[in-house]
């Protein structure tokens, strides 16, 4: 997962900081904060107060920015959209290197503009105050899986971490029987005999 360096905090965490890309390409960088005192009880994440439109705006905006960066080879805008820590931790050149495989595979992400994402992890606020969500965009023959982390900056959610991977879609169910197709004969139905003319 591409991410910015964590600033402050009392948690001891292992953060994935570079992108998990297209099935094969992945690189992990681990950052650690100070260890939490043993007497403190970790707090569980809580659901984020964000509506469906807000989620769609963030997810689509982020992945379309990545799509434009992959198609143009210019990752400056994607970097500028990030939180200050994301901006400081990732140069445009570094982002180009991280997303090289996704770019070379010429994966077209423009479809996310019209397809609704399916969330496998509803937006939640982590103990560090950041919002995390995960899910996928279903498509055929492959689907786009994503995990996104946003940091609060001046009352707005700004990109802090991004992970994108391509996987196979689930099996397509067989088409249902046509409603106007002739019904099958019941096993208990008997064929009536053909009427014969009466003898003279």
In a domain, 119, yes or no: yes
When pLDDT is averaged across residues 99-115 and rounded to a whole number, the result is 92
In a domain, 110, yes or no: yes
List, in sequence order, every beta strand (DSSP E) within 20-65: 20-21, 25-26, 46-47
Overall residue count recorded for the chain in this entry: 200
In a domain, 178, yes or no: no
On average, the pLDDT of the chain sits at 76
Residue 19: predicted pLDDT: 37
Confidence of residue 1 (pLDDT cuts 50, 70, 90): confident
In a domain, 177, yes or no: no
C-alpha span between 45 and 13 (Å, rounded): 14
Q: Strand, coil or helix: what is 166?
A: strand
Residue 39: predicted pLDDT: 63
Residue 139: predicted pLDDT: 83
In a domain, 11, yes or no: no
When pLDDT is averaged across residues 24-45 and rounded to a whole number, the result is 48
Phi-psi region of 197 (alpha: psi -120 to 50; beta: other; left: phi over 0): beta
Domain of 60, CATH number, reads 3.10.450.630
In a domain, 68, yes or no: yes
User: What confidence tens digit (pLDDT) does each residue in 119-163 have?
Assistant: 999 999 999 999 999 999 998 668 999 999 999 999 999 999 999
Q: How many separate domains does the chain show? A: 1
In a domain, 58, yes or no: yes
Is 0.95 topped by the overall pTM?
no
Structure tokens at 113: 């503009």
**Domain range spanning residue 72?**
46-168
Residue 165 scores a pLDDT above 60? yes
In a domain, 92, yes or no: yes
């Amino acid at each position: 997962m591409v991410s910015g360096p964590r600033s402050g905090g009392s948690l001891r965490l292992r953060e994935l900081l570079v992108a998990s890309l297209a099935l094969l390409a992945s690189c992990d960088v681990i950052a650690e904060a100070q260890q939490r005192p043993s007497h403190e009880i970790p707090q569980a994440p809580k659901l984020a107060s964000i509506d469906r439109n807000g989620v769609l705006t963030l997810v689509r905006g982020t992945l379309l920015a990545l799509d434009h960066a992959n198609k143009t080879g210019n990752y400056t805008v994607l970097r500028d959209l990030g939180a200050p820590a994301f901006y400081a931790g990732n140069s445009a050149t570094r982002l180009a290197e991280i997303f090289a495989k996704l770019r070379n595979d010429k994966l077209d992400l423009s479809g996310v503009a019209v397809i609704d994402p399916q969330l496998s992890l509803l937006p939640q606020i982590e103990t560090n105050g950041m919002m995390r969500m995960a899910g996928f965009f279903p498509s055929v023959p492959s689907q786009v899986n994503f995990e996104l982390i946003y940091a609060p900056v001046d009352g707005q959610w700004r990109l802090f971490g991004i992970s994108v991977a391509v996987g196979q879609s689930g099996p397509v169910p067989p088409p249902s029987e046509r409603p106007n197709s002739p019904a099958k004969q019941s096993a208990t139905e008997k064929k009536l005999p053909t009427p014969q003319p009466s003898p003279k």
